Structure 1
Amino acid sequence: MRIGLVLPAVPGYSETFFSNKIKGLEANGYTVILFVNSCNRKTKTSTKTKVAPKLSGNMVRIGMISFYRLSYSLIFHFKVSRRLFILDRDDGINFIQRIKNIIINNHIFSEPVDWLHFGFGTMVLNRENVAKAIGAKMAVSFRGFDIGIYPVKHPGCYKRLWEKVDKIHVISNDISELVYKQGFNNQVPIIKITPAIDIRFFKNNHKTEYNKIPHFITVARLHWKKGLDYTLEALALLKEENIPFHYTIIGDGPQEEYLKFGTHQLGLNDYVTFTGKLSHELVKKKLEQADIYLQYSIQEGFCNSVLEAQAIGLLCVVSDAEGLSENVLHNKTGWVVPLRQPKLLLEKIRNIINLPQTEKDTISQNAKERVKLEFNIKKQQKEFVGFYENN
């Protein structure tokens, strides 16, 4: 079986979800072809990769590339180009966009595949007919942003997709519910395959020893959806109660200045450390030095960092945003707090600090065992093989 995987770029070092999926499929005899918008030469892959035409920059250059790609498609892939043009026309897509669709999907036409799988929901927009045009089945993966945020700004954006998709992949039950809320009523299956982590790497065999001064940690992109401002508000309240602590935030992103200024305004400069982006090895080291992991997101598809923290043995506190309440089982493998309520987060953190050591150890052990059993790479790879084989 041949699987065409449509992604923004070749998966990088940190994008383990896709790289592990590709390795698992290839190990089971599948042929995987990557269709990407860009390809960083520093990102190495042995998987066959086809790059989309770059239609940006100088207008003359864009015109020349477009003319070449369109001519090439009409000469060497006339049947596929004609089929896509007609399918798009029947959907009411205007003439200019139909021509654009032939040009931007030109790199896909030459590769016969059984499945064309769009790795993100937003990547399929205006390309809903490409799979049928090349004679393949279409699969689409939905994560947090694709279905939780993008449709808020673009209502009804997936209406055309719902009528054409053959199988949908989601990473949590809450994401599945959002798919239905966006108007999906087809009978094709929605399959949940959660993220997975390298449990051999994120492993801590040593008995957990808690710091005398509680050390909190978060690994996240500095983005509004991560709810870090609410986390800082809760910790400012903890400071007012004269409870000592330290908080480490690992990551970078567009809200770095906003969050650092908020830290200053809340009087937390001596309590909070921003490390920036770190390697996996350094992230693991920082996790091993911490006590409690905080992921108080406003919106979150699932979050690998929470899985990694649980595998290390940290006590995890998360919000109830989308997949986080599946990632952490409340009062069993960690704690789930309603989002946007820093006072409730404060109460939970205070309660955890005061828990007896035996209760902390039980929660920590439960989390480690569940991650090892439910969120390992081999299990995920087996599920993706079944995703394409099972009707």
Structure 2
Amino acid sequence: MRIGLVLPSPPAYSETFFTNKIKGLEAHGHTVVVFVNNSKKGTFNTTKCKVAPKLSGSLLTVGSISIFTLVYSLVFHFNKSKRLFLLDREDGLGVIQRIKNVIGNSHIIAEPLDWLHFGFGTMVFNRENVAKAIGAKMAVSFRGFDIGVYPLKNPGCYLRLWDKVNKIHVISNDIRALLYTHGYNGKAEIIKITPAIDTFYFKKEDCQLPSVKNSFITVARLHWKKGLEYTLEAFALLKKEGIDFHYTIIGEGEEYERLKFAVYQLDLLDYITFTGKIKHEKIKDELNNSNIYIQYSIQEGFCNAVLEAQAMGKLCIVSDAEGLSENILDNETGWVVPKYAPNMLAERIQKVIELDSEHKKRIAHNAQRRVREKFNIENQQKKFVDFYT
């Protein structure tokens, strides 16, 4: 089959979910074409990548590109362009928007495809009819923000989609439930395929013991939904109890200044380290030299970093945000704490610290075994091959 995957940009080195999926499909003989809005971030050398027309800049530049693209589509792909124009008319879109849709999706219209798969729900707007116009089936993935947050700001944004999509991919049961919250009508088949990791790369190794006995770590973009401010408040409570610790936060993002100021106000400057963005192999080293992984997000689709930490034998404490309570089985493979409750997080951290070594080893072993069996790349790739049949 020929499968089109619509993404904001080519998969970056850290976006293993997409790269592993693409490699698995290609290994089974399928052709994958990646459609992107820009090609500045990352590359994927083994896959055909087509970039959308760049409709930004001066009015003259945008006008010239638009006219050229529209004429090209009408000359070489008239039937598909016409179908898209008419399908959009049936949905009540105005003439100007319909013309924009033909121009903006010209790079997709030009390709013969069996499936057109939008990698995020938010990529589908004004493209709900493209798959039908080119004679392909349509699939959409929902991963977290696109169904947990975006519809709150844009009520009813997916109502056009529900009647047109053939299959929906979700990464957790909680994400599945959110579809119904936002108007899903039950027509399309929903298939859950969770994230997966390289369990051969992420595995427990002999490592240097942390210089601080209670050494904690989080790998996350510095974004409000990661709940890092609540995590810092929990550590401030631990400090008041006289508990010695060090907490390392790996990642970069727009909340850095706010979080750094919070560290100052909470008098945690000697207890917290921000590393910024570091290479993947260095992240593995940091995990090796930590005791406990924390992911106290307030919105989270699933989180690969938690899977990686479990695979490396780290004790994990997470929030109950969406997929995290499926990623971690409470009191079996780690611990799940309600969101927005730094006092409860502090209490759980203290209890975990006080557990005897045998209890800790049992939890860590359970987590490692479950990740190896359920969240390996081979299983994920097979499920995606089956997804399109």
TM-score higher than 0.5: yes
Aligned to 2:329: 329
Aligned to 2:345: 345
Letter in 1 for 2:320: D
Instruction: Judge which range, 203-212 or 8-17, deviates more.
Output: 203-212
Aligned to 1:59: 59
* SS of 1:225 mapped into structure 2: helix
Q: Per-residue deviation at 1:204?
A: 1.3
Is 1:172 the counterpart of 2:166? The answer is: no
User: Where in structure 2 are there 5+ consecutive unaligned residues?
Assistant: none
Q: Tell me, yes or no, if the aligned pair for 2:212 and 2:245 is still in contact at 8 Å.
A: no
Q: Per-residue deviation at 1:44?
A: 4.2
User: Where in structure 1 are there 5+ consecutive unaligned residues?
Assistant: none
Aligned to 2:81: 81
Is 1:160 the counterpart of 2:160? The answer is: yes
* SS of 1:138 mapped into structure 2: strand
Letter in 1 for 2:277: K
Q: Tell me, yes or no, if the aligned pair for 2:35 and 2:51 is still in contact at 8 Å.
A: yes
The CA RMSD over aligned residues, in Å, is: 1.2
* SS of 2:156 mapped into structure 1: coil
1:43-65, Cα deviation, whole Å (9 max, x unpaired): 24121111100111111100000
Percent identity of the aligned residues?
65
Aligned to 1:72: 72
Q: Per-residue deviation at 1:41?
A: 8.1
Superposition pairs of residues 347-386 of structure 1, within 5 angstroms: 347-386=347-386
Letter in 1 for 2:339: L
Instruction: Judge which range, 49-58 or 198-207, deviates more.
Output: 198-207
Instruction: Judge which range, 233-242 or 35-44, deviates more.
Output: 35-44
* SS of 1:3 mapped into structure 2: strand
Aligned to 1:285: 285
Q: Tell me, yes or no, if the aligned pair for 1:208 and 1:313 is still in contact at 8 Å.
A: no
Letter in 2 for 1:32: V
Distance 1:116 1:27, change over 3 A: same
CA–CA distance in 1 between the matches of 2:243 and 2:205? 30
Q: Per-residue deviation at 1:378?
A: 0.4
Q: Per-residue deviation at 1:187?
A: 2.6
Superposition pairs of residues 1-391 of structure 1, within 5 angstroms: 1-40=1-40, 43-206=43-206, 213-389=213-389
Q: Per-residue deviation at 1:210?
A: 7.1
Q: Per-residue deviation at 1:209?
A: 6.1
CA–CA distance in 2 between the matches of 1:42 and 1:125? 24
CA–CA distance in 1 between the matches of 2:372 and 2:301? 20
CA–CA distance in 2 between the matches of 1:138 and 1:385? 15
Q: Per-residue deviation at 1:40?
A: 3.0
* SS of 2:8 mapped into structure 1: strand
Q: Tell me, yes or no, if the aligned pair for 2:12 and 2:42 is still in contact at 8 Å.
A: no
Q: Per-residue deviation at 1:212?
A: 5.4
Q: Tell me, yes or no, if the aligned pair for 2:6 and 2:116 is still in contact at 8 Å.
A: yes
* SS of 2:37 mapped into structure 1: strand
Q: Tell me, yes or no, if the aligned pair for 1:208 and 1:361 is still in contact at 8 Å.
A: no
Distance 1:19 1:29, change over 3 A: same
Distance 1:59 1:388, change over 3 A: same
- What is the number of residues matched between the two proteins? 389
* SS of 2:249 mapped into structure 1: strand
CA–CA distance in 2 between the matches of 1:223 and 1:254? 6
TM-score by length of structure 1 reads 0.98
TM-score by length of structure 2 reads 0.98
Q: Per-residue deviation at 1:211?
A: 6.3
Q: Per-residue deviation at 1:208?
A: 9.9
Instruction: Judge which range, 196-205 or 144-153, deviates more.
Output: 196-205
Q: Per-residue deviation at 1:109?
A: 1.3
Q: Per-residue deviation at 1:353?
A: 0.3
Q: Tell me, yes or no, if the aligned pair for 1:163 and 1:186 is still in contact at 8 Å.
A: no
Letter in 2 for 1:15: E
Q: Per-residue deviation at 1:186?
A: 2.6
Q: Tell me, yes or no, if the aligned pair for 1:211 and 1:291 is still in contact at 8 Å.
A: no
Instruction: Judge which range, 180-189 or 199-208, deviates more.
Output: 199-208
Instruction: Judge which range, 291-300 or 46-55, deviates more.
Output: 46-55
Letter in 2 for 1:237: L
Q: Per-residue deviation at 1:262?
A: 0.3
